[in-house]
Structure 1
């Protein structure tokens, strides 16, 4: 047969009606075991592939899931101190790729889970508000949306949720009205703080983050603030670094031994260099920890204590949550949480690994 096999060809070879074959292929009704076996043999013999559009007419689904993410910055981490990190240009590029692989792993996890349920993923990276029209268009062509971070404005999310199910991942956007997936990152921050205070005699906790706190950073600081931590925000601009150095010196003079919980390993390595410029010895004067357990933190001297997340699991769990929502549209919104692992290294004065901790 030179042309693709049709459902009529399958019905003719199997000896059953087109309607019976259609019910078997689309799962739209009961088929006897004898009919199912004959139809399946015919499908395999003819190499028949059901039409996606035809299946969509029966199931009222497109077979597509939309994945919306904030665009990742293009800047690579820069570390200038020879005493902290040593790697050539090729390794530096690999490190940058690993540190930016968080979203890539979410995509991989989502694609794997979607494949298991017979769906495909279509992806949009949102760089600016003008992308809202493209997100609306995507919502009209998919069965549901997985939205990572704060890639979509809150009012648009509310509008989209009236049309298709929406699952949020690591977002601040109205968790109470959407299914929501995140990591136990705040638990990790609390465990880091507890380790620094109880095991290493830290007298002042400082949470170090960027100038605009992300959803994850807000959750972590909420936990750390209850433990007495202050907030030190670091600009991406190197011109601000003298101010950061001065702030580190001041905190050291005011409080004794510092414990710096940085919101990323990239920032943690940068703070290692700034601490060096401030005349602080790590880990003797200041214990420094990171987040995400990137290769750059493991290459630092001393190596960074960090929180290891599971972005593959985040992506997969988000798709599974969306599938549950499609199967049961009227159920209450659910919150799903992925466990984390705290990895203790020399930057806080020890070298060991803690077990996974789940919220």
Structure 2
């Protein structure tokens, strides 16, 4: 594709659009590209250059994101594909996706929790560049391939576990509002409460940044409230670590006085005392499935299942217990 683009004097994205039979290519340009393709087939074959996939993760590569990126990179390597990694908060520049189709040597992309909205993803899709979104921040457009975890089912199982232990006053420390994963987890939590005939309480919900310090502040406010909850469900494990500290500072025993649960099942969840009850996300499998979807887009027909949700698993440990009596 690079050779053809150079020969015709067009971008790699334009060649991709022609080969994928996209409509938004001028007839003369399409004819020039197809003729160049035919000429390339008549030449003596040369060893294929390894393909390159641009992997963008505009966040610090710790815990959650580190596992995703490692899985993607390892799987691409198994298939002989090179990785061009763009990671860290510096990659949150506004024009990152706009420049991507003309990035030299890039054949496809994997975007992890992209901060851009659906319109930007649709615009990228129309360039013809194959890409897959992992853990989308907003509902992915119908024609954009995406891989995520079953956040609704995971949160529903977690809250159902707490309800089964007798908890009715359950505080929630959620991530930022209007994130797809957070909205789905909150919906799952409320579904489990509804099944038990319990109405959610407004002052029991806090939306914060997903850090241990923010979790500590939110849990402190919940535990200092005159009607403090008997359990706190946190929408990631770092938030739960902050909640454990807030409980300890107030002389509350976990889980005897208050239960605390997390989400994600990162390594940190087993290093706390007590160990965290949490929901395991299949992060490594998400990375492998994203690569599989992308390679199918590159090598064959367009996948039929564009939006894939992988099952989550409730992991019960020592941080949750029956509601305290009296």
The normalised TM-score by structure 2 is 0.71
Q: Quick check: 1:341 aligned with 2:313?
A: yes
Alignment of 1:88-107 (within 5 A): 100-107=62-69
CA RMSD, Structure 1 to Structure 2 (Å): 3.2
1:167 corresponds, among 116, 132, 135, to 132
Counterpart CA distance in 2 for 1:243 and 1:113 is 38
**Partner residue, 2:89:** 127
Alignment of 1:1-359 (within 5 A): 50=47, 52=49, 63-72=51-60, 100-125=62-87, 127=89, 131-140=93-102, 141-163=105-127, 164-171=129-136, 172-198=138-164, 200-212=165-177, 214-226=179-191, 227=193, 228-229=199-200, 230-234=204-208, 244-250=219-225, 252-253=227-228, 258-328=230-300, 332=304, 334-349=306-321
The normalised TM-score by structure 1 is 0.65
SS in 1 for 2:263: coil
- Shift in Å, 1:234: 4.1
Q: Structure 1: 5+ residue runs without aligned partners? A: 1-18, 26-49, 53-61, 74-99, 351-359
In structure 2, the CA distance between the partners of 1:223 and 1:276, relative to structure 1 (3 Å rule), is: same
After superposition, the C-alpha distances for 1:1-48 in whole angstroms (9 at most, x for unaligned) are xxxxxxxxxxxxxxxxxx99956x7xxxxxxxxxxxxxxxxxxxxxxx
**Partner residue, 1:41:** none
SS in 1 for 2:73: helix
Aligned length in residues = 268
Larger Rg belongs to: 1
- Shift in Å, 1:211: 4.5
Q: Structure 2: 5+ residue runs without aligned partners? A: 1-40, 194-198
SS in 1 for 2:106: coil
CA contact (8 A) 2:69 2:287 kept: yes
